[in-house]
Structure 1
């Protein structure tokens, strides 16, 4: 089994780091916001216990090295503003999936792009991934813009793949190859 450590990464405005139990209140604030989970197949969190469970799962992933889960911390305030995760690794094929969420108060400021750029660079250059995949609801134009800014390409469309907040929702599949990533530079 491969091991995927979660290091601490820094950018101009962010620190990407492992989650810890003291992050529970900030993490709860992110996922309790209906705007953040609008396109997720889960309801907004209703109690900080959801955050505590998510952090326990992250701690397990750190111990067994099965996922790379970053908390996105604002460097100037120390506030945990979201998460970015590399998960569902397929070591034989050097690929995984990426997921991310950012508190709505921080949308439109370039933080998601900055966080994904750091996580993807780590994945491609330190973990030696060849491919990273994402799937999003096609109505989530902001997320599509972030992925496309990173060099992801639309690769497929799956109608009615999820039930999101009681309604059928489609998926757009995106892929990013290391060769695309390296060509950006």
Structure 2
């Protein structure tokens, strides 16, 4: 059951979001630098964080989405979130998305969280494929995906219009067989 999902890594706890996370989540999603390549504009009010947390809970309860907070195990700080969503049960695939607060960039937290989430997705959720769409200008996100074994599979031109700016999407995919091979090395 998704609602009970808590994943532990060496430095992180990936856990369901709760109401008290609103301030930290707002700090992440209201930062224009964090949101530069996101598919929506930066948040402007704490109510958006409350709404997002409620939606995360509903997604967990229905099985439509696994959105987990990225918490630093040592301090309990919420650094960001990672999610699997748009599940296609018949084809055993989903999309992955993530956001990390700027103070936590460059420390390897997102790679650690991604590895745990992919392990969980390919084992416990029996996924065969995980997909990601990234603004091609977001070099850091593309590097993360490629380090995890994702392959760039195509470019979707002018897929998003965010705050009046037309943006392309680089489409990435990772297969369970590729993940298993990487993990066995």
**TM range, smaller chain:** over 0.9
- The match for 1:146 is 144
Q: Distance in 2 between matches of 1:87 and 1:106?
A: 24
Q: Distance in 2 between matches of 1:108 and 1:8?
A: 24
1:36 and 2:34 correspond = yes
The one of 59, 62, 65 equivalent to 1:64 is 62
Q: Distance in 2 between matches of 1:75 and 1:130?
A: 30
- The match for 2:107 is 109
Q: TM-score under structure 1 normalisation?
A: 0.96
Over 3 Å counting, the alpha-carbon distance change for 1:61 and 1:76 in structure 2 is: same
Structure 1 residue 6: deviation in Å?
5.1
Q: Distance in 2 between matches of 1:33 and 1:132?
A: 27
- The match for 1:165 is 163
Structure 1 residue runs of 5 or longer lacking an equivalent are: none
Please say if residues 4 and 127 of structure 1, whose CA atoms lie closer than 8 Å, have aligned partners that are also in contact. no
Q: Superposition RMSD on alpha carbons, in Å?
A: 1.0
Q: Distance in 2 between matches of 1:48 and 1:73?
A: 19
- The match for 1:77 is 75
Q: Which runs of 4+ in 1 moved over 2 A?
A: 3-6
Structure 1 residue 41: deviation in Å?
2.4
- The match for 2:49 is 51
Within 5 Å, which residues of 2 pair with 1:121-140? Answer: 121-140=119-138
Please say if residues 9 and 118 of structure 1, whose CA atoms lie closer than 8 Å, have aligned partners that are also in contact. yes
Structure 1 residue 165: deviation in Å?
2.8
